[in-house]
Structure 1
Amino acid sequence: MSPATDSEPPVPAPDSDSSGAPGVDTLPWSITPEDAAAAAESAAGSTTARADRTAALRAAIDPDYDYREPLGSRLDRWWTRLMYTPGRQRLWRWGGPIAVTLLAAVLRLYDLGNPQSLVFDETFYVKDAWSLLHLGYEGSWPSGVDPSFAAGNVNQFTTAPGYVVHPPLGKWIIAMGEAVFGAQNAFGWRISVAVCGILAVLLISLIGTKLFKSTLLGTIAGFLFAIDGHAIVMSRVGILDGILMLFLLLGFGAVLLDREWHLRRLAAWVARREDEGREPTWGPTLWWRPWLMAAAVAFGLASAVKWSGLYFLVAFVLYAVLVDALARRRAGIPFWLSASILKQGVATVILTVPLYLASYLVTWTGWFVTNGGYYRNWAQTDGKPWTGSLSWVPLVIQNFWHFEVSVYNFNVNEHDPHPYAANPLTWLFMIRPTQMYVGTFNDGTGNCGAQTCYANITSVGNAAIWWAATAAIFYLVYRLIRKREWQVGLILMGMVAGYLPWLLYINRTIFQFYTIAFEPYMILGLVFVIGLALGKRTDPPRKRARALWIVGAYLLLAVLVTVFFYPVWTAQPIPGWLLTLHYWLPSWR
């Protein structure tokens, strides 16, 4: 069974564990516990209860499958027997995602406090978080304070405001870890980001399960994200981008749920009109869309970490309008396009934009309720209050607007050269990863088996995952044109929102590690292709076995690459000759 296209009925099929997954036929563990219980109960009174119960369960699992034919591989048949009961199916549905989440926790929490120094942009966000926790706004710090801060002298901030170029939510989240574990150790200022990275693995597993209707594919998505080096590094360094990624992924998941919510209610409305004998000329305006509103809140919170969350709001509002238009057309609504834009489209904007703005503004509470923040009293001191038709605007709003304009101008005009700046046209190919930390032990104390040891943190991804995912994304563009599968469209919309806007700032100083914001959608695109490669459970045994071997070999290769690169993702000391073997491209140095 392949993914639904634009010709699909407006009411999506009930979720199962794998039906509808790309290239994966209905698997034997796709039966819901309710179906299994009902089938068993219907056969319980028979004189041949056991045989009838078995037949009923098999019919409920897959009515079209001939159990006398040994189709599929031996692994498929073993899995059928293993996942025979509803309890085991429920265990697998949660066990797979939880298992890869635990794996992610081990990879992200192991030796998290190493190195005990401020790494890369931690010099901004870790210190800002600590002063934010104490002042309610970001205070300023003396120059050259980083070594002293890392040594435990963490209270050198002043009450004078520090100029910041990103909103405060990400720093508040980092501050939560510092509040619990203290800022005197690196574990305290990194733990919050690590937790966000761990939760993102669980979230992408659940999203993959829902999107592909397959716990297997969802678990593979979580597994690949758990072992990818870029995701690991961005979960182990106290900067903002891993936090941003989590909120964006939450919004994406909410959009996925809203799609089903919306299609079901639109179909129900059309059915009622047909029962009443009335033509649905325009269709309804659906005002109660809780998942869409949740997505708006998530994107607002993402923007409160970094402004790039705004692109996701715009992209997925347009996506919601497009989905509504196609659904109305399939339902036979005559004025489907005008209704989707002028009725439901307007409602969608009203439902999302105010929630987006509110969730963004509430994160600035500390700036609003104190008087010490940067530009907090600009209009009263250095600037000039607005006049004319805008003179009624409260001064605090004028000050905030001036601050936001200043931050925008700074961000779009950031052109300072940096040795690890990376052109966004090269991002998908991982040409220039960011070297975030370089430590050298020349006195034999590195315990790496050599006199000189090197401890690096480089945000280079797992090449087996990253380059395959890049190829998958290009293939998905082709596949969307040919087959118009909605799963492909949703995945690519995540790439559109996360990647394409950066091409507008191609001359700005930007870095490869920004890609963490859209890496989950690269992983989902790769898993879509893996689902196609796996084929159907009812494929001939040799074909099915060959597909399983190929996918299994690929996953093993990805694991081996992770084992090899893990030291340079986590600042583990290694000798120089081994470090050199990790430079697969000259630009990785």
Structure 2
Amino acid sequence: MTDYPNQDFEQPESQNDPAEPGSVRDRLVPPFRGSPLWAWVGPLLVAAFGAVLRFKDLGNPRAVVFDETYYAKDSLSLVRWGVERVALKDADKMLLGGNPNIWQQCAPNELDKCASYVVHPPLGKWMIGAGEWIFGANPFGWRFAAAVVSVVSILIIARVARRMTRSTILGCMAGLLLAVDGLAFVLGRTALLDGFLMMWVLAGFACLVADRDQARLRLAEWYESSPLNDTGPRLGARWWRVAGGLCLGAACATKWSGVFFLIAFAVMSVMWDAGARRAVGLRRPYRGALGLDVPQVVLAMGVVPAAAYLVTWTGWFATAYGYGRNWAQATSSGPAYFVFNSLRSWWDYQWMVLSFHTGLDSTHPYQSKPWEWPLLLRPVAFFYESPSGCGTDKCSQAVLGVGTPVIWYGAVAALVGLIAWYVSTRDWRAGAVLLAYAVGWLPWFYYAIADNRTMFLFYTAPMIPFMILALTLIAGLVIGPVNAPPVRRAAGAAVAGAFVLVALVNFWWLYPVLAAEIIPYDDWHRRMLLDRWI
């Protein structure tokens, strides 16, 4: 597959050509262009814009929105008890009334009966709970962490897009598009787990892209100073890869669907290593990758994520009152038996959760199927009320979980373009983005067909950054290489800029029904693109 081009996609020589001394470094790791200062200032400014959007009236609506009814209470329980506890029937009203004492009471010898059966790992809830611990158990408090990770996601995608394209402008474009995507915006203002999953998956991908650069730089240095052999050198400690494994383990510890990305990205990272070894002319690059790189992948993308996942359950292990905590009662005394039976109980709990997810087939008015997601055919109404105060007899206040149509429909075309680009050039960036999108989307087809599982549009959250990366890569192709005629580059930049402007206008038009502004009913209805949005 081809290497990074220069800024705005100037194509280098094919990696199938023999490597030439003095050119191999630029071929493996092309230099960045532009000011290093703006490489950070630009993405930070875009992230600041996204922060203003997300933190403005973050506590609005003052309500428990959609699945916040689960996560706001579970998160508060985690920071107070270390495990999820059963809440009172009127807990939502009590929280909104300023009373955090919402827990069902149990006798001291029956506290395990107050344990709540939860079906998602605890990390995302711990993060939500941190906001509640700082700001209190109120809408702002339980949404604070979601807004923070949403802003962090904007910064990450701007930086990783810059690394992939060697263009700060294209990196800022990616960050701006994520900032104004409707679904990413709503998840950044709502205490659901999917926004956290998106951030961890994107962070893991970004770490692996950084590891790719670092490994190829080390390989180039070896090539310049050592004689060629069949397989090449060991590339030393791969801390970016370890960080990627840690982030992807955190994704799995937020929602189990993170495991699809973990497996796919581990394979992708090995293939990148094999491609780098082949690019410098090694005779047995795949043997080198298998023998020298795979052992590190097993550690970084196997052991590290598993350990990270287990650590997030510390609260469950540290107390006897988590759900299923005492399933495997110790038959003998001693710390060894205690640890063994704790792990047996934990393992049984994981199987219980797996059975729940594979058997979840209850109907919901806003459920949708994965083949409907790219075209936004059935979004989720997170919140809707008909208050007064809009100057007309009938008002609406809504939070609609829907993507910005210009971005989503444009992404469909961009992904098709990436398929053609990858088939014709084997460009690694197109392949990586297509793989990530497919991993986030295609597994849900199995669950939809085989299990008839209940699913929602916001399950696409970890796919959103890769849709935007697809748009960014296509924008780079439209702008053209640095040695293209100025007229062509100006025309391409105008097209890319016009797309971003239209996306901004589309987001501005939808903003009132994304941010729970009180508007006339007719204004709300005009923003429903399809009848199925209602």
**What is the TM-score when the length of structure 2 is the normalising length?**
0.90
- Distance across 2 between alignment mates of 1:266 and 1:95: 31
1:314-347 deviation digits (Å, cap 9, x = unpaired): 1111011211222222333223223323442233
Q: Does 1:222 align with 2:175?
A: yes
Once the two structures are TM-superposed, the CA of residue 156 in structure 1 deviates from its matched residue by 1.4
Once the two structures are TM-superposed, the CA of residue 427 in structure 1 deviates from its matched residue by 1.3
2:130·2:145 contact (CA, 8 Å) conserved in 1? yes
Once the two structures are TM-superposed, the CA of residue 250 in structure 1 deviates from its matched residue by 1.0
Q: Does 1:205 align with 2:158?
A: yes
Once the two structures are TM-superposed, the CA of residue 120 in structure 1 deviates from its matched residue by 0.6
- Distance across 1 between alignment mates of 2:186 and 2:476: 27
Match of 2:382 in 1: 436
1:452·1:576 contact (CA, 8 Å) conserved in 2? yes
Query: 1:171 is matched with which residue: 125, 138, 148?
Result: 125
Once the two structures are TM-superposed, the CA of residue 420 in structure 1 deviates from its matched residue by 1.0
Q: How does 1:518-557 map to 2 (within 5 A)?
A: 518-536=463-481, 538-557=483-502
Q: How does 1:304-383 map to 2 (within 5 A)?
A: 304-380=253-329
SS of the counterpart of 1:139?
coil
- 2:443 partner letter: P
Once the two structures are TM-superposed, the CA of residue 429 in structure 1 deviates from its matched residue by 1.6
- Distance across 2 between alignment mates of 1:148 and 1:581: 36
Match of 1:58 in 2: none
- 2:93 partner letter: P
Q: How does 1:510-525 map to 2 (within 5 A)?
A: 510-525=455-470
1:248·1:298 contact (CA, 8 Å) conserved in 2? yes
- 1:373 partner letter: G
2:479·2:488 contact (CA, 8 Å) conserved in 1? no
Rate the CA distance shift 1:311–1:401 in 2: closer, same or farther, 3 A.
Answer: same
- 1:533 partner letter: V
- Distance across 2 between alignment mates of 1:545 and 1:264: 33
Match of 1:587 in 2: 532
Match of 1:248 in 2: 201
- Distance across 1 between alignment mates of 2:272 and 2:149: 30
Question: What do you get for the CA RMSD once the two structures are aligned?
Answer: 2.2
Q: Does 1:294 align with 2:247?
A: no
1:12·1:260 contact (CA, 8 Å) conserved in 2? no
Once the two structures are TM-superposed, the CA of residue 419 in structure 1 deviates from its matched residue by 1.0
- Distance across 2 between alignment mates of 1:412 and 1:549: 48
| Unmatched runs of 5 consecutive residues or more in structure 1 | 19-29, 31-88
1:178-213 deviation digits (Å, cap 9, x = unpaired): 011100x21111011101101111111111111110
- 2:270 partner letter: V
| Unmatched runs of 5 consecutive residues or more in structure 2 | 1-8, 105-110
SS of the counterpart of 2:276?
helix
- Distance across 2 between alignment mates of 1:504 and 1:258: 32
Q: How does 1:49-448 map to 2 (within 5 A)?
A: 89-158=35-104, 160-183=114-137, 185-274=138-227, 280-380=229-329, 394-441=340-387, 445=388, 447-448=389-390
- Distance across 2 between alignment mates of 1:501 and 1:11: 38
- Distance across 2 between alignment mates of 1:144 and 1:392: 37
- Distance across 1 between alignment mates of 2:15 and 2:376: 34
Q: Does 1:498 align with 2:440?
A: yes
2:10·2:483 contact (CA, 8 Å) conserved in 1? no
2:65·2:382 contact (CA, 8 Å) conserved in 1? yes
2:11·2:481 contact (CA, 8 Å) conserved in 1? no
Once the two structures are TM-superposed, the CA of residue 241 in structure 1 deviates from its matched residue by 0.8
- Distance across 2 between alignment mates of 1:391 and 1:334: 52
- Distance across 1 between alignment mates of 2:314 and 2:412: 40
Once the two structures are TM-superposed, the CA of residue 471 in structure 1 deviates from its matched residue by 1.2
- 1:119 partner letter: V
- Distance across 1 between alignment mates of 2:372 and 2:142: 31
1:365-397 deviation digits (Å, cap 9, x = unpaired): 11111110000001129xx99xxxx99971000
1:422-470 deviation digits (Å, cap 9, x = unpaired): 11112112111111111112xxx3x222122111111111111111012
- Distance across 2 between alignment mates of 1:355 and 1:500: 26
1:290-328 deviation digits (Å, cap 9, x = unpaired): 111110011011111111111111111101121122222
Once the two structures are TM-superposed, the CA of residue 270 in structure 1 deviates from its matched residue by 4.3
- 1:478 partner letter: A
- Distance across 1 between alignment mates of 2:362 and 2:478: 45
- Distance across 1 between alignment mates of 2:481 and 2:296: 41
2:94·2:102 contact (CA, 8 Å) conserved in 1? no
Once the two structures are TM-superposed, the CA of residue 580 in structure 1 deviates from its matched residue by 1.3
Which region of structure 1 is more displaced relative to structure 2, 327-336 or 311-320?
327-336
1:205·1:222 contact (CA, 8 Å) conserved in 2? yes
Once the two structures are TM-superposed, the CA of residue 541 in structure 1 deviates from its matched residue by 4.5
- Distance across 2 between alignment mates of 1:439 and 1:281: 68
Match of 1:558 in 2: 503
Rate the CA distance shift 1:11–1:497 in 2: closer, same or farther, 3 A.
Answer: farther
